[in-house]
Amino acid sequence: MPSGPYLPTSATYLKQSSLLLQAYPDTTRITTKYTFPSKPPSSSTTKSSTPQQPQPPSTTTAPPIATLTLKTYTPEAGICLKYRTNKAAEVGRLFTALGLLAGGTDITSLDSGVASAVVEGADEEGTGTGIGAGAPSAAATAGVSAGGTQGAGGKGKGGKKKGKGGKK
Amino acid sequence: MSQPLGHEEFFTSLTTLLTTTSQKTRGSVYLTQKPLLATSPTESSSPAPPSILIRATDGNTNAPNPKTHPNLKDNKKKQRESKVKLLTVVQPHELETFYARYADVCKAGMTGLKKRDRKQKKAKAKGGAGKVVKG
């Protein structure tokens, strides 16, 4: 399978996946992988005589953290989109979104309800990837403030228009 | 190959699969969803939305490692038998109910992921020690 790009936020991933599903509804598949990191071979006890012996928790005190990888793949177009997270808090939202995608819901055109919840949730969770999460709200604020100043300067109509556009 | 399971049975088996993997902190679980197309080739614009096929497998990653279990190395058949494969079919009108349950099962089973609590505690500790981390 071709390896695709990892998208920075779940919102981006879901939007792009939605577009892909619209373009290729019959062949696009979504795979969710819940995986633990493979242990380095040095840490494993290689005692062939007692294979069932549990490994002593010697050096590794903290349990390994699993990863959840979402992958949308279209063989027809050879497009592959991926998103990766290790936060338990994201699981519920992601699966709800997958359900919407499976039902053919157009996430990109949904401007209220779940879609915005998905996007807002991404803002909340996306502290690790601040650029993607912070940008939309910053843009909205900029649009509003620009509208405000222009309105004060006498160009009321233009300012209002810009303000609306920026707000969404 | 294997037959589709009923939703109840699927969720029960999936819970077991996820729990086992989480407890072992080893291996993977693969969940796939794709439209189940009609066997007879139809026109491109099908009137009814297709059912969704849901597959779950451990990809045989829960099998003993052949490196540490050399006696199992050559027994390919036995290895293949240990692979877990589940599948179920969801009708379009069942999607919402199914996915609500699916999300819950996965939330409950994927305990190996980072917990929210731990993260918040860490953030708080950091905030107390020095600067507050920007949200």
How confident is the prediction along chain B (135 residues), in pLDDT tens digits per residue? Answer: 578 999 999 999 999 999 999 999 989 999 999 998 866 555 555 567 889 999 999 988 877 776 777 665 566 666 666 789 999 999 999 999 999 999 999 999 999 999 876 555 555 555 545 455 555
CATH 3.30.720.10 assigned to B7-129: yes
Beta strands in B24-124 (DSSP E): 28-36, 51-57, 85-90
CA quadruple A40, B121, A115, A132: dihedral sign: negative
Residue A70 corresponds to which amino acid?
A: L
Residue B37 corresponds to which amino acid?
A: L
Query: B123: distance to nearest CA of chain A, Å?
Result: 11
Residues A98 and A136 in one domain: no
Closest residue on chain A to B38 (Cα) = A26
ipTM of the complex: 0.76
Domain parsing of chain B, residue ranges: 7-129
Residues A71 and A122 in one domain: yes
Residues A85 and A103 in one domain: yes
Q: Within a domain: residue A143?
A: yes
Q: Count CB atoms within 10 A of the CB of residue A83.
A: 24
Residue B57 corresponds to which amino acid?
A: T
Determine the structural domain holding residue A141 and report its residue range. 130-168
Residues A30 and A84 in one domain: yes
CB within 8 Å: B68 and A87: no
| CB-nearest partner of B68 from A44, A86, A99 | A44
Does A138 touch chain B if contact means CB atoms closer than 8 Å?
A: no
Q: Indicate the number of domains in chain A.
A: 2
Closest CA to A125 of A86, A168, A167: A86
Q: Which residues of A touch B50 (CB under 8 A)?
A: 26
- pTM (predicted TM-score): 0.67
Q: Within a domain: residue A141?
A: yes
What does the block give as tokens for A164? 């609306």
Q: What is the largest CA-CA distance in chain B?
A: 66
